[in-house]
């Protein structure tokens, strides 16, 4: 695309965004404020995720005329993944009418928004990330770490390693190193790995990589000396390809590295070249274009020049498909809430009710054209994660291939730990625990 | 001490020294600008990103490797001349802090321009050098790191010869010594600055390719400047030899600190430990190991 064309596209996009961002005059519209990041260090993830999210919203408008006649609208504010910009974008965008939910895809921005969205009574969606104890809807009524919180991710990874060793009883005595990003996100799972190590009897060593992670020689030499059976990579951004390359440089086999959910994209492996072949990572949604919903997005939008991704080769990539799944979950929450409150524009609190009843079994997921794209979700008023299943994918040098069945994390084991943390938070903040009756009521 | 694993120590030390060479590559770009204009060019990281992104984008569009290298270098020369015309010339004889702030702004402009021109995607860069380690008496040494060290050594040798034995090198040193005196004897300051920025562009290209092959060509490349700053403090802002020695010392110190002291501080100390080491050194020797001592008559 030439620069002139880019400017034309930008001008057109600005015009379209302006048109879309002026929904005040229309009653039957539901608005999504998007704190996106399309430039800066994490732009590759941002363009993929928000591209997929917008593509799905656009599909619903184009194919169905909206959700039961309610048009979906959105506008974007650039954050560059910076917390202060994200908060500024929140303050700027929240004045738009008919806000459905916030989806910042940023741990830092999400943390900074929790008190604000709770006061404003609008849901905050942190799909696959966010603080683990926000799973507890008794304490965090408006926060939804959909599909996978960090503790479930940890449990899913340990279960996968166990499956490779022939069962949980066989990981006793094995050695696992967790290489984590030196940030609150990276440190979130330290206690749960310790707990699982104690429960299952594996030897554990957790090693920090300072942000941004572009130098890891000493960490991988330490790993080499420790001679672990597996390394779990809990990385972010540039840390991931550098980890894979440094592992190869220090002689650690890449097929014994298991990536977490933010170390599982094409952007994490492509820069590592051939050294990434055989690397495995957890995911909640498969990549690829063979799913009916993705095909429909291609035929309805991209074939008519209306897709959001600039590079069509990225359709079906990990981040793009995550954005599509996020779109499905947001739209279905609205649809479910409309069944109770009427087929009209909903308040943020009514959309919250919809999320708290977001129960999509495999049959419903198939009906939505997403069979095998993701498994299912079962959100309730007090379980805001929704028991998402995980699967594992392996990089073959060109694409990800699914190498496991859908695996369930050990939710029963995790729930008491989550409740302990959330109740401590509630006590600290003076929050009264919600009941099921409290959750049923939704305000305008 | 009998339990001390000397082989492992050697491996960490060698790895640190080789990492330090990579820091030196970035630091040399800073030194070039500082030597001739007294400006800490904060845009060096952005130049590095721009060079690597341009090169890899050209290669991906089918431009042959060598031609892409030439075209990128030519573009870096144009950028160097452009910076001199639009930023430095209007700020001639302004205080160094003004020029520093200008380069800070410039870094944002260059980063934005790179992303506008070539997009925000992450690219792999294969220079055709295997990054498979070879075993030297039980110590694993990366072929790629050895190659990078050889490139850095070659570049230092060339720049040293250039500064010491060529007329333009002499002019560079004269400008570095006293801009007013250099102007008075007829040296063309704008031309010298444009040339030195173009040379810094070449250094950025080389460093960008090596770092890009290591990290992937992506926005984070511009952050490698943070690795160069303690190197400059330690080695001196105006010494190419200092950049190399400083890089080696910082690389080795931070790696050894991470491995042997990291546990006492909760791990992940190498990024800030490099700055602590540089700061401690600064207190003892403010001009760095090889930096020129400033003497002001009052």
| DSSP assignment string, A277-319 | TT-EEEESS--SS-SHHHHHHHHHTGGGT--S-SSGGGTT-HH
A contact residues 192-251, partner B, Cβ 8 Å cutoff: 206-212, 214-215, 217-219, 221-222, 224-225, 237-238, 241-242, 245, 248-251
Supply φ then ψ for residue B293, to 5 degrees: -75, 130
Q: List, for residues A338-392, the tens digit of each pLDDT value.
A: 999 999 999 999 999 999 999 999 999 999 999 999 999 999 999 999 999 999 9
Q: What is the pLDDT of residue B297?
A: 65
- Residue B114 pLDDT more than 90? yes
CB < 8 Å to B227, chain A: 214-215
Q: What is the pLDDT of residue A12?
A: 41
Q: What is the mean pLDDT of chain A?
A: 93
Q: How far apart (Å, rounded) are the C-alpha atoms in residues B75 and B94?
A: 27
Q: What is the pLDDT of residue B294?
A: 64
- Residue A200 pLDDT more than 60? yes
Q: How confident is the model at residue A214 (pLDDT cuts 50, 70, 90)?
A: confident
What's the half-sphere exposure (Cβ side, CA atoms, 13 Å) at A33?
24
- H or E stretch covering B233: helix B225-235
Q: How far apart (Å, rounded) are the C-alpha atoms in residues A442 and B18?
A: 61
CA distances from B161 to A372, A404, B197, B206 (A): 63, 59, 18, 18
Read off the pLDDT of each residue in A82-105 and give the average, rounded to a whole number. Answer: 96
- B11, B122, B272: residue with CB nearest A271: B122
Angle at B27 between CA B25 and CA B32, to 5 degrees: 105
Q: What is the pLDDT of residue A10?
A: 46
- Residue B63 pLDDT more than 80? yes
CB contact under 8 A, B216 and A218: no
Q: What is the pLDDT of residue B169?
A: 86
Does the predicted interface ipTM exceed a cut of 0.95? Answer: no
Q: What is the pLDDT of residue A19?
A: 41
CB contact under 8 A, B223 and A47: no
A416-420's contacts with Cβ under 8 Å and 24+ in sequence apart are A417/A151, A417/A191, A417/A192, A417/A195, A418/A132, A418/A133, A418/A135, A418/A136, A418/A149, A418/A151, A419/A136
CB contact under 8 A, A248 and B119: no
3-state secondary structure of B72: helix
Q: What is the pLDDT of residue A145?
A: 97
Q: What is the pLDDT of residue A1?
A: 43
Kindly report which listed range (A340-354, A393-407, B228-242) carries the lowest average pLDDT score: B228-242
- B5, B117, B121: residue with CB nearest A3: B117
**CA neighbor of A260 nearest in space, from A175, A144, A143, A178:** A178
B15 touches chain A (CB under 8 A): yes
Bridge partners (DSSP) of residue A29 are: A71
Supply φ then ψ for residue B266, to 5 degrees: 85, 10
Kindly report which listed range (A101-105, A115-119, A181-185, B284-288) carries the lowest average pLDDT score: B284-288
Q: List, for residues B169-214, the tens digit of each pLDDT value.
A: 888 888 877 778 888 888 888 888 888 888 899 999 999 999 999 8
Structural contact between residues A418 and A136, judged by C-beta atoms closer than 8 angstroms = yes
- Residue A254 pLDDT more than 60? yes
DSSP string for A42-69: THHHHHHHHHHHHHHHHHHHHHHSSBTT
Q: How confident is the model at residue A41 (pLDDT cuts 50, 70, 90)?
A: confident
A175-181/A230-234 β-pairing:
parallel
CB contact under 8 A, A275 and B216: no
Question: Taking the domains of chain B in order of start, what are their residue ranges?
Answer: 6-225
A391-395/A280-283 β-pairing:
antiparallel
All domains in chain A, ordered by first residue: 3-148+287-378+420-440 (3.40.50.2300), 150-283+392-409 (3.40.50.2300)
- H or E stretch covering A239: helix A239-249
User: Which one is predicted more confidently, A37 or B288?
Assistant: A37
CB < 8 Å to A242, chain B: 214-215
Structural contact between residues A270 and B122, judged by C-beta atoms closer than 8 angstroms = yes
B219 touches chain A (CB under 8 A): yes
**CA neighbor of B290 nearest in space, from B245, B230, B229, B223:** B245
Q: How confident is the model at residue A444 (pLDDT cuts 50, 70, 90)?
A: low
Q: What is the pLDDT of residue B295?
A: 64
**CA neighbor of B110 nearest in space, from B22, B192, B221:** B221
């Amino acid at each position: 695309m030439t620069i002139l064309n880019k400017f034309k596209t930008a001008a057109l996009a600005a015009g379209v965004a302006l048109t879309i961002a002026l929904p005040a005059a229309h009653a039957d519209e539901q608005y999504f404020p998007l704190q996106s990041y399309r430039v800066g260090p994490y732009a590759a993830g941002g363009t993929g995720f928000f591209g997929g999210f917008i593509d799905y919203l656009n599909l619903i408008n184009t194919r169905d005329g909206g959700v039961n006649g309610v048009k979906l609208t959105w506008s974007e504010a650039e954050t560059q993944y910076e917390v202060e910009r994200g908060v500024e974008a929140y303050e700027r965008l929240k004045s738009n009418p008919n806000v459905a939910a916030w989806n910042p895809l940023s741990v830092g921005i999400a943390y900074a928004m929790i008190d604000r969205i709770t006061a404003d009574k609008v849901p905050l969606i942190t799909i696959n990330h966010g603080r683990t104890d926000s799973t507890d809807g008794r304490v965090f009524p408006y926060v939804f770490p959909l599909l996978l919180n960090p503790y479930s991710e940890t449990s899913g990874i340990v279960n996968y390693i166990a499956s490779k060793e022939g069962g949980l009883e066989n990981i006793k005595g094995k050695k696992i190193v967790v290489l984590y990003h030196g940030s609150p996100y990276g440190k979130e799972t330290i206690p749960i790995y310790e707990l699982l190590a104690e429960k299952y009897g594996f030897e554990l060593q957790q090693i920090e990589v300072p942000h941004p992670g572009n130098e890891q020689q000493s960490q991988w030499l330490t790993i080499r000396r420790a001679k672990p059976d597996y390394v779990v990579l809990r990385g972010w951004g540039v840390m991931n390809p550098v980890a894979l390359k440094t592992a190869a440089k220090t002689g650690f086999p890449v097929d014994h590295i298991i990536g977490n959910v933010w170390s599982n994209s094409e952007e994490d492996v492509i820069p590592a070249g051939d050294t990434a072949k055989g690397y495995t990572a957890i995911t909640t949604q498969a990549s690829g274009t063979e799913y009916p919903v993705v095909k429909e997005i291609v035929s309805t939008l991209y074939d008519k020049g209306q897709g959001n991704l600039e590079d069509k080769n990225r359709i079906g990539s990990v981040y793009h498909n995550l954005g599509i799944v996020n779109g499905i979950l947001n739209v279905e929450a609205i649809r479910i809430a409309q069944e109770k409150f009427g087929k009209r524009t909903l308040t943020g609190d009514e959309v919250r009710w919809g999320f708290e009843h977001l129960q999509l079994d495999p049959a419903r997921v198939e009906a939505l054209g997403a069979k095998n794209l993701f498994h299912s979700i079962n959100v309730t008023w007090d379980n805001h994660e929704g028991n998402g299943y995980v699967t594992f994918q392996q990089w073959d040098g060109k694409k990800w291939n699914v190498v496991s069945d859908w695996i369930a994390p050990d939710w029963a084991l995790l729930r008491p730990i989550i409740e302990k943390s959330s109740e401590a938070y509630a006590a600290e903040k003076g929050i009264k625990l919600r009941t099921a009756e409290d959750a049923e009521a939704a305000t305008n | 001490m009998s339990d001390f694993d000397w082989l492992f120590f050697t491996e960490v030390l060698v790895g640190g020294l080789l990492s330090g060479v990579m820091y030196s590559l970035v630091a040399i770009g800073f030194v070039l600008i500082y030597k001739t204009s007294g400006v800490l060019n904060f845009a060096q990281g952005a130049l590095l990103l721009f060079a690597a992104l341009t090169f890899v984008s050209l290669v991906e569009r089918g431009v042959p490797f060598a031609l892409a290298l030439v075209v990128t270098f030519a573009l870096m020369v144009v950028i160097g001349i452009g910076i001199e015309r639009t930023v430095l010339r209007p700020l001639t004889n302004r205080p160094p802090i003004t020029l520093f702030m200008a380069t800070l702004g410039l870094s944002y402009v260059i980063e934005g321009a790179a992303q506008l021109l070539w997009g925000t995607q992450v690219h792999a860069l294969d220079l055709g050098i295997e990054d498979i380690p070879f075993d030297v008496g039980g110590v694993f040494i990366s072929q790629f790191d050895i190659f990078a060290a050889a490139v850095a050594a070659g570049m230092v040798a060339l720049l040293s010869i250039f500064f010491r034995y060529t007329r333009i090198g002499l002019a560079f040193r004269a400008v570095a010594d006293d801009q007013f005196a250099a102007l008075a004897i007829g040296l063309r300051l704008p031309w010298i600055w444009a040339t030195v920025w173009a040379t810094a562009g070449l250094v950025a290209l080389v460093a960008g390719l090596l770092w890009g092959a290591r990290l992937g060509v992506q926005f984070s490349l511009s952050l490698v400047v943070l690795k160069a700053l303690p190197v400059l403090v330690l080695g001196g802002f105006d010494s190419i030899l200092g950049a190399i020695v400083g890089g080696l010392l910082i690389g080795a110190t931070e790696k050894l600190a991470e491995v042997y002291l990291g546990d006492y501080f909760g791990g992940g100390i190498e990024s800030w430990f490099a700055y602590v080491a540089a700061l401690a050194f600064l207190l003892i020797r403010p001009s760095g190991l090889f930096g020129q001592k400033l003497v002001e008559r009052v």
